[in-house]
Amino acid sequence: MFDKILFATTASPICKDAADVAFDLAKKYNSQLTVFHVFGLPTHGFSQFAVDLKTGETEVHDDDWVERVTAEMKTTFADNLAEAENCVVEAVVGAPHREILRAAREKDIDLIVMGSHTRQEDTGATRFRTVVGNTMQKVAKAARCPVLIVSRPCQTCWWYFSNIVFGTDFSKAAQSAFKFALQTAKQIGCKLYLFHACDIGPTDPGKVRTQADIEEKVTEARKKMEELYLPEMEGFDNYEIEVWEGTPYVEILKYARDKQADLVVMAHHTREIDPEKAVLGSTVEQVVLRSACPVASVNRPDKVAAS
């Protein structure tokens, strides 16, 4: 299903949950796994200096430093690496999201796996959280392959997943997310929940929505789901369609919890929103931060059609 997986990591125990999923997936699907860490941000103009993203110290970017970081990574993930067969460990300097996207493009990656946030008690947690949050947001938006974001321990192995929730906003990007969700459900043989939340947030100040209005919207959305997605099922019948109303991210989280989802699949497209300001701004972001299960963000057809 995934020939090449890129595990983008902060190379600290923080990413343990994401690491377990990445290594598990690679093992199951015999994928080539790249453990990829951007450890320094270029600084001091054109010079060779970079700021260590963990400590905030300025260092010269050279082979020694890369070796040291790579060795650290190997220690951090020693348990995982011991069992991994087809795996390389890479450490680079650059703007994290940019280098992750660059590597994904160069290596023709089929799936990016990332953690989403850090724990308060870790050194440099605040600095790190901003970097990681922004990075995830930017990677999820621009990546051409699915991005799997794991922020909490994943209780079940991917191939034992029982419930996948696909949240849609009917966008073009969501079409790719749907394909990915469907393929995954077919592969694993689990149930697929197609879900939409009608946004009844305060978008039109002063306008009060009546129950009838809302119900009409819900019915419309359900019809749209049936039209859009059912013809694509091709014999797959282990699915359910649901439409709720409310604030989209809240409803998706509630629904995922209700259905004991093992995976949430969504499209991440926040065209209007400045990624710097939208760390917590988009629906995907909110879902990722709060979701108990991994979240896959899929925006583009490239790697979905192939897999």
CB of 108 to another protein, least distance (A): 13
CB of 67 to another protein, least distance (A): 12
Q: Which residues bind another protein (CB under 8 A)?
A: 42-49, 60, 62-64, 94-95, 98, 101-102, 105, 142, 144, 170-174, 269, 271, 274, 299-300
Judge residue 95's burial from the number of C-beta atoms within 10 Å of its C-beta, 0-12 exposed, 13-18 middle, 19 or more buried.
middle
Q: What angle is formed at CA 279 by the lines to CA 278 and CA 283, rounded to 5 degrees?
A: 75
CB of 176 to another protein, least distance (A): 11
Cα–Cα dist 67/3, whole Å: 27
Cα–Cα dist 282/285, whole Å: 5
Q: Decide whether 22 or 298 has the Cβ nearer to another protein.
A: 298
CB of 272 to another protein, least distance (A): 10
Question: Which conformational region is residue 108 in: left (phi greater than 0), alpha (psi within -120 to 50 degrees), or beta?
Answer: left
- Smallest CA-to-CA distance from 201 within 279, 126, 111, 283 is with 283
Residue 246: both structure tokens together: 């409310």
Q: Decide whether 113 or 173 has the Cβ nearer to another protein.
A: 173
CB of 135 to another protein, least distance (A): 13
Q: Decide whether 119 or 172 has the Cβ nearer to another protein.
A: 172
Q: Decide whether 48 or 86 has the Cβ nearer to another protein.
A: 48
Strands 295-297 and 147-150: antiparallel
Q: Decide whether 28 or 44 has the Cβ nearer to another protein.
A: 44
